Amino acid sequence: MRAAVKRIVRLKPELAPLNSLDTLLATIKANRGIAADTQLDLSFKHLLPFQALKNIDAASTLLAEMFFAKKTICIVGDFDTDGATSTALAVSALKVMGVAKVHFLVPNRFKFGYGLTPEIVEVAAEYQPALIITVDNGIASIEGVARANELGIQVLITDHHLPGNTLPNAAAIVNPNQVGDEFPSKNLAGVGVVFYVMMALRTKLRELGWFAQQNIPEPNLAQFLDLVALGTVADVVPLDHNNRILVNQGLLRIRAGESRPGINALIGLSKRRQSEVLASDLGFIVAPRLNAAGRMEDMSLGIDCLLAKTAIEAQALAMRLELLNQERRAVEADMQQDAFLALQKLALDNKNLPHGICLFQDHWHQGVTGIISSRIKDRFARPTIAFAKVNEVELKGSGRSIAGVHIRDVLDQVATENPGLLTRFGGHAMAAGVSLPIANFEKFAQAFDGVLSKILAGNPLDHVLYSDGELSSEILTLQTVEAVRALGPYGQAFTEPMFDGIFELVDQRLVGGRHLKLLLRAHNSESFIDAIAFNVDVDEWPKHDWRKARIAYRLDVNEFQNRRNLQLMVEHLVGC
């Protein structure tokens, strides 16, 4: 079955080939809405203050009461990287500020499911906490908070997911997306929200004289920015200016070797030079290994790795995560093959596929459905939800969306138009989760497609690759790579620059079984350029009859035997 068509679209079609570094950098800035260089100042002094967050004073006051009364606190997290980093940050920050006792729980996704459920409250109650803090979850946990209240346990919710019409009856809720919140950035990840709560708590404890009374040095919370950077990038939230400050400051610490042993160990597994780690490395190297714990076993293993005190301890835990990630890859490969076979039964080509794809196989693994949705969405340019069995009567699905389609809002519309069809749902623009009875799967698939058919009516369902323009051969250099990287960090809503141009295909061969290694020559140049395209269709490549191709690419550096060379990371190529 053919993948969705890829189109290369230049953001400024009239632009001449970029032939100077100054012109190139000015173009990149303009294409990302940077009107003044002050928008590129990512120093910590420009971070938005915590005071604008709704309920932040109530939250810090509540936490301070726990400190002075020497009460036990229990953190309840989520089983993805944002949840793991949020949990590790909360535990570490509370300890360094002198909390009496703090424990953490992450619901096992296969037993308890997501969030602060009544069942996980019962488990938390075994620690006899006076306070439960939810991190990266809780905004939809109405029943769980009610059960905690019944048991005499207060609840502080810290979350960033979109709230429903009814909020839990918690002692305090900190979420920049709740009604009435005036915090200027609505894009904080869960770990970003926790970081802000800890900043407010430190200020409150200082005002109350806690650090002086306890003879505790007031902590520098910058030590937790490596966690903030990792969780923010992994959760693919928009990198507005505030999030870019958080990510950049975290990356600076990581590159300087000032990150925690667990992050160092996970980077080390990739053989990536830590002094040159990029935001994309956090998303594609570190996060998948952490996520493997939550997908295949229990995210507590990942959190333990982030909390490890020594390099030896961290290395042992990182190796266990690596083995789980290898297992995840094998399961994913089988499920992906199942998914493509199922799609072939739906349509002969992508033109006949539904606007919204829903897939379910009896034997699929709950922990990998999100990855399958992402793979299908990437290939066919359609919002996708992959489901797996929770038990004999219930399904749980993980969905991924395309640009311009807010998948959580789509699910809300489906639920509104079909009362009782869904058991529960939640999420944000690009990713969401949904639970429903197995008997409702077909009806849900039809309803999901129906809503999306209206939203996407008349829109071509293909992949658009937005190019910043063509680079002349004179600036295809390592100096250009470094200059472009310096404008980062890049990510969601502040995309890494992509370029396109016509190149001569000097040589092409497969490496690693499915990656296409290319040797290129630019127009009017005698110099050769290395390039690589990952995960190509090996039934089609190499194409030795092609002499030239229009290529969409990103700039990269290939390091081999202590030598650094320019390398193009090919996103798409078409003969010309």
Residue 408: strand, helix, or coil: helix
For the domain spanning 45-321, the CATH number is: 3.90.1640.30
Q: Do domains 45-321 and 347-461 have the same CATH topology?
A: no
Q: Which residue shows structure tokens 């100042």?
A: 41
The helix-helix angle for 287-296 and 81-96 (nearest 10°) equals 100
CA distance 424 to 4: 31
User: What secondary structure, in 3-state letters, does 107-154 show?
Assistant: CCCCCCCCCCCHHHHHHHHCCCCCEEEEECCCCCCHHHHHHHHHCCCE
Query: CATH fold of 6-37+464-575, please?
Result: OB fold (Dihydrolipoamide Acetyltransferase, E2P) (2.40.50)
Q: Is 491 helix (H, G, I), strand (E, B) or coil?
A: strand
pLDDT of residue 468: 96
Per residue, what are the HEC states of 37-85? HHHHCCCHHHCCCHHHCCCHHHHHHHHHHHHHCCCEEEEECCCCHHHHH
* Residue 406 tokens, joined: 């807010």
The letter for the amino acid at 520 is L
Q: Give, to the nearest 10 degrees, the angle between helix 81-96 and helix 225-234.
A: 160
| pLDDT at site 162 | 86
d(CA 214, CA 111): 41
Pairing of strands 548-560, 528-533: unpaired
Q: Any alpha helices (H) in 177-260, and if so which ranges?
A: 190-207, 210-214, 225-234, 241-255
Sketch the domain layout of the chain as residue ranges: 6-37+464-575, 45-321, 347-461
- What architecture does CATH give domain 347-461? Roll (3.10)
Integer angstrom CA distances of residue 518 from 363, 529, 571: 39, 8, 13
What CA–CA distance (Å, rounded) separates 555 from 485? 9
Residue type, 401: S
Burial environment of residue 324 by CB neighbours within 10 A (0 to 12, 13 to 18, 19 or more): buried
List of residues 6+ apart from 153 with CB closer than 8 A: 121, 124, 125, 129, 130, 131, 132
Whether a cis peptide bond, with omega within 30° of 0, leads into 489 is yes
Collapsed DSSP state (helix, strand, coil) of residue 360: strand
Specify the 3-state DSSP secondary structure of 542. Answer: coil
Question: What CA–CA distance (Å, rounded) separates 372 from 368?
Answer: 7
Neighbours of 65 (CB within 10 A): 15
SS3 450: helix
Which residues of the chain are modeled with pLDDT < 70? 1-4, 113, 346-351
Q: Kindly list the distances between the CA atom of residue 464 and the CA atoms of 221, 238, 400, 552, 569, in Å, as whole numbers in the listed order.
A: 41, 19, 17, 11, 17
Phi, psi at residue 151, to the nearest 5°?
-85, 0
Spatial contact of 9 and 500, defined as CB atoms under 8 Å apart: no
167 close to 116: Cβ distance less than 8 angstroms: no
Q: Report the alpha-carbon distance of residue 433 to residue 421 in Å, rounded.
A: 14
Parallel, antiparallel, or unpaired for β 384-389 and 563-575? unpaired
Q: Could you report the per-residue pLDDT of 8-30, keeping only the tens digit for each? A: 899 998 888 889 999 999 999 99
Do the Cβ atoms of 395 and 438 come closer than 8 Å? yes
